[in-house]
Structure 1
Amino acid sequence: MVLTPVDCPFCEIVQREAPDAREVYRDEHVIAFFPTEPAVLGHTLIVPREHVSDIWSVSEETAAHLATATVRLALAIRAAVHSEGLNVIQSNGEAATQTVFHLHLHLVPRWSDDAMGPIWPEETNYTETAKDEMQQRIRTAIREGCAR
């Protein structure tokens, strides 16, 4: 699903047209706010001010601004909520549970007894051959210029 800035709920927040948004940070490149249904208190979203649908569409310049804001906000969240840890979650495409198609990062403070639970499978059973083949496929894609 591709949203245009007209249809995008995060663009509404960027344009200050979402009165219920709980904004915590804004600069010339990014905005950070709480989701309407936070996973835990302190859960914060960071979005670029420009409408970018996913990680495959973002410029390196915008990505750098998002990275800088992520570190700044991670430090602020830790200072404010005294969390034991933090997940930085960024999903792309429906298969990866992206529901709003405006690039965004979730900063989720974590505690050992929170309601989030584990985010990784307990174990996998990929063969060493399969892992070696995947390593080679990704290296080839990088050499062929698929990465910026």
Structure 2
Amino acid sequence: MASHSGCPFCEIVGREDPDAREVYRDHRVVAFFPTEPATLGHTLLVPRDHIENIWMLDSPTAAGLASATLVLASAIRQAIKPDGLNIIQSNGEAATQTVPHLHIHLVPRWREDRFGRIWPPETNYSEFEKDEAWERLRSAVQNSGQNG
């Protein structure tokens, strides 16, 4: 497994962090509690290889992350009994990624928790702006050859 010197998540993957509260490990991924959880049961899921963001992610690792996310979501529901669950994955500083090692947050939620909203209550994009973004994205998908 490829690791990156100084990466705190690579230290957990390499079992070099004795304080890590690990909850899951397989040949592709590791899951553990963050040191400052947003809610009790908040779990981070990372690839064992040092992959900085989603744009560097390969399909087999993505499949492993998706499969482990399902396992962890079920375990959180059974063990923690939340009212809901946020699954959050951020890429880049503008998206609040603070550790440059791809990670997925599984955040148990309760109706009155302190986490708060993750989406703005409303936006004010014009129909022209939305159409322009839609056309650009649709074209990029078609040009990628990945459009079924």
Q: Normalising TM by the smaller chain, what interval?
A: over 0.9
| Residue matched to 1:9 | 8
| Residue matched to 1:125 | 124
Say whether the 8 Å CA contact 1:30–1:66 is kept in structure 2: yes
**Is residue 79 from structure 1 mapped to residue 83 from structure 2 by the alignment?**
no
| Residue matched to 2:137 | 138
Displacement after TM superposition at 1:143 (Å): 1.8
Q: Could you state the TM-score of these two structures normalised by the residue count of structure 1? A: 0.94
Q: Percent identity?
A: 63
What one-letter code is carried by the residue in structure 2 that aligns with 1:82? Answer: K
What one-letter code is carried by the residue in structure 2 that aligns with 1:41? Answer: L
Deviations 1:43-102 (A, max 9, x none): 000000011000000001100100000011001001111101000010000000101000
Secondary structure class of the residue paired with 1:114: coil
Displacement after TM superposition at 1:146 (Å): 8.1
What one-letter code is carried by the residue in structure 2 that aligns with 1:128? Answer: E
Say whether the 8 Å CA contact 1:141–1:147 is kept in structure 2: no
Deviations 1:86-131 (A, max 9, x none): 0001000000010100000000000010010111101111111211
Secondary structure class of the residue paired with 2:144: coil
**Is residue 21 from structure 1 mapped to residue 20 from structure 2 by the alignment?**
yes
Q: Could you state the TM-score of these two structures normalised by the residue count of structure 2? A: 0.94
Secondary structure class of the residue paired with 1:125: coil
Q: What is the aligned-residue RMSD (CA, Å)?
A: 1.4
Alignment of 1:50-89 (within 5 A): 50-89=49-88
The alignment of Structure 1 onto Structure 2 pairs a total of residues equal to 145
Gaps of 5+ in 2: none
| Residue matched to 1:96 | 95
Displacement after TM superposition at 1:32 (Å): 0.3
Displacement after TM superposition at 1:139 (Å): 0.8
Shift of the 88–136 alpha-carbon distance from structure 1 to 2, 3 Å rule, reads: same
Alignment of 1:99-118 (within 5 A): 99-118=98-117
Secondary structure class of the residue paired with 2:30: strand
In the aligned structure 1, how far is the partner of 2:100 from the partner of 2:146?
A: 22
In the aligned structure 1, how far is the partner of 2:124 from the partner of 2:104?
A: 29
In the aligned structure 1, how far is the partner of 2:136 from the partner of 2:16?
A: 44
Gaps of 5+ in 1: none
In the aligned structure 1, how far is the partner of 2:145 from the partner of 2:19?
A: 40
Secondary structure class of the residue paired with 1:131: helix
